[in-house]
Amino acid sequence: MSQPTVIARRTADARSTIAVPIRSAQPPPPGFAELGASRPVVEALRMRGLREAFPIQTLVLPDAIAGRDVLARSRTGSGKTLAFAVPIVKRLTPSGRSPTALILAPTRELASQVTEEFRAIADVRHLQVAAVYGGVGIGPQAKRARHADIVIATPGRLLDLVARKLLRLDRVRICVLDEADRMLDMGFLPDVTRILEMLRPDRQTMLFSATLDGEVGRLAARFTHEPVRHEIHDVDGPLVTEADHRFVAVEQADRSRALVRELAADRGLTLVFVRTQRGADRLAKNLKTQGFRAGALHGGMAQAARERALGRFAAGFNDVLVATDVAARGLDLEHITHVINFDPPADEKAYLHRVGRTARAGRSGTGITFVTPEKRADVGKIASVLELHTEFGDAGLRVERPRVGPPGGMRQRRRRPRSR
């Protein structure tokens, strides 16, 4: 799937920009050099096969490189990590004294992945990158972070290091809140507020989120200065995800057999979501007995075990990963072609988070949700809010159309029914 061409247009707020993909013939997306990226970074990106910027990168890069505060709203998997990583790498110089850039992430999985994304381009500028999150030894982690130029951290462990006087934040001049909405949903608002209050007032602050209203908006209003606001919108409304969506009506006792049928079809890496840690272990074990290369990922596992599970999945040794929501937050792997909701998500936000693990950064993917009679009404509400009426109906199910638009004005792009 090719990335959409975008037009950047100013809204009534002169410092606010919306990207509107259009279908008519337009010039190709700009390259990273045109947007201000340094030559070594451009070459490093080219070596990874990245030559053209995605819409959120096109909008954010010039303002971020110029040092402005940025509020950015775009769908999951839109390429936002490079939208803040490229400017940070360009603006910093190596020092080895204490961090000058800080990225806050809601989970250790996301922090780990953002760290790897940074290292791919930070090396060319000789910038040191360190990850800070729970579940690993605090001493070695603090030693790496103390002399790093860029630190990617979860809020709790970062505050722990600061309280122990193992890490200083007084030299941080660029701060990024990644997946800010999820961070606040997980109860990190007090921690994030404490961290931002510790930083120097003349810093650059960038906030990336699926929504910019509510608590996120209030946080931004307090801790940013004249921010430039960028949003990505589809032709028919804000783009939720580029994945194909499919619902499968199934009896509770038949879900395992239905899952085996789906896994036996043509697919790549497949992420299966369940509700509980115990359910993840049990389902992964059952799939192994049926010949599938499956692993489990959940918050009850030791960090080393979680990293092994992710590593085996990313390398393709296991092509099925059974995970809980918290464990898979921020998971960003190129070859996840299918996401299967074995247990249904709690609401539309959880649905978008899950299915957003596929069809990332212009790639294609499929989201499949099992719907039992007991959960038909709950899943029907999710389908209604996201305007997936046609897809829900393809499974022989029906939802009532809402009388008012979904929260935040989200609308799902209409798709033709998929042939089965």
Is 14 part of any domain? Answer: yes
Kindly compute the dihedral angle of the four CA atoms of residues 158, 159, 165, 166, in this order, to the nearest 10 degrees. Answer: -20
Is 417 part of any domain? Answer: no
| DSSP per residue, 177-204 | ETTHHHHHHTT-HHHHHHHHHHS-TT-E
Q: Note whether 364 and 271 are same-domain residues.
A: yes
Tell me what pLDDT residue 182 has.
85
Tell me what pLDDT residue 47 has.
87
Q: Note whether 228 and 278 are same-domain residues.
A: no
Asked which of 166, 199, 232 is the last residue of a domain, the reply is: 232
Q: Is the pLDDT of residue 93 over 50?
A: yes
- State the Cα–Cα distance between residues 81 and 370, nearest whole angstrom: 31
Tell me what pLDDT residue 408 has.
43
Is 390 part of any domain? Answer: yes
Q: Note whether 335 and 264 are same-domain residues.
A: yes
pLDDT digits (tens, 9 = 90+) for 23-44: 444 567 889 999 999 899 999 9
pLDDT class of 238 with cuts at 50, 70, 90: very low
Kindly compute the dihedral angle of the four CA atoms of residues 395, 399, 401, 407, in this order, to the nearest 10 degrees. Answer: -90
Is 415 part of any domain? Answer: no
pTM for the full predicted model: 0.68
pLDDT class of 77 with cuts at 50, 70, 90: low
Residues of the domain holding 134? 5-232
| pLDDT, mean of residues 111-122 | 90
Q: Note whether 223 and 261 are same-domain residues.
A: no
* The pairing of beta strand 16-22 with beta strand 5-10: antiparallel
Cα of 210 vs its chain's centroid, Å: 9
| pLDDT, mean of residues 100-127 | 91
pLDDT digits (tens, 9 = 90+) for 242-276: 689 999 999 999 999 999 999 999 999 999 999 99
What are the φ/ψ torsions at residue 278 (nearest 5 degrees)? -60, -40
pLDDT class of 15 with cuts at 50, 70, 90: low
Supply the CATH number for residue 206's domain: 3.40.50.300
Tell me what pLDDT residue 243 has.
83
Q: Note whether 68 and 90 are same-domain residues.
A: yes
Q: Note whether 265 and 186 are same-domain residues.
A: no
Q: Note whether 225 and 253 are same-domain residues.
A: no
Q: Note whether 128 and 108 are same-domain residues.
A: yes
Tell me what pLDDT residue 399 has.
67
CA nearest neighbour of 154 among 141, 143, 171:
141
| pLDDT, mean of residues 316-337 | 83
Q: Is the pLDDT of residue 357 over 90?
A: no
What's the number of domains the chain is made of?
2
Q: Note whether 320 and 378 are same-domain residues.
A: yes
Is 11 part of any domain? Answer: yes
Q: Is the pLDDT of residue 370 over 90?
A: yes
Q: Note whether 64 and 203 are same-domain residues.
A: yes
pLDDT class of 326 with cuts at 50, 70, 90: confident
Is 239 part of any domain? Answer: no
Is 238 part of any domain? Answer: no
CA 402, 403, 408, 414 dihedral sign is positive
Q: Is the pLDDT of residue 235 over 80?
A: no
Q: Note whether 307 and 221 are same-domain residues.
A: no
